[in-house]
A and B are shown apart, each in its own frame.
Chain A
Amino acid sequence: MVGMYHYLFLGLFLFVVGLLGSMLAKNVIKVLIAIEFMLTGININFVTFGTFCDGVNFHGYIIALFYVGIGAVELAVALFIFYLMYQKKKSNNIEKYSEL
Chain B
Amino acid sequence: MISNPVLFYIASFILIVFAFLTMFLKNIIYSLLSSVMVFFSAGLLFYFLGSEYNAIIQAAIYGFAVPIIIGLSIMFGGKCSKCEFTLKYATILASLIFCLGFVYVIMMSVSMLPETFNIVGLVKSNSYEVISSFAKGIFINYVWAFELVSLLLTVVIAGLTMYRKKGV
Contact = CB atoms under 8 A, between A and B. Distances in A.
A37 B35 contact: yes
Interface string B146-168: 10010011001100100100001
Given A47-B54, A76-B69, A82-B73, A37 B160 contact: no
Contacts of A1: 3, 5
Contact of A66 (B76, B77, B136, B145): B145
Given A2-B3, A29-B28, A44-B45, A75 B80 contact: no
A62 interface: yes
Interface string B65-78: 11001100110111
B62 A79 contact: no
Contacts of A59: 137, 141
A68 B45 contact: no
A61 B54 contact: yes
A80 B19 contact: no
Interface size class of B (residues with CB under 8 A): 35 or more
Interface of A: 1-2, 6-7, 10, 13-14, 17, 20-21, 24-25, 27, 29-30, 32-34, 36-37, 40, 43-44, 47-48, 50-51, 56-59, 61-62, 64-66, 68-73, 75-77, 79-80, 82-84, 86, 90-92
Interface of B: 1, 3-5, 8, 12, 15-16, 19-20, 22-23, 28, 31-32, 35, 38-39, 42, 45-46, 48-51, 53-54, 57-58, 61-62, 65-66, 69-70, 73-74, 76-78, 80, 82-83, 130, 133-134, 136-138, 141-142, 145-146, 149, 152-153, 156-157, 160, 163, 168
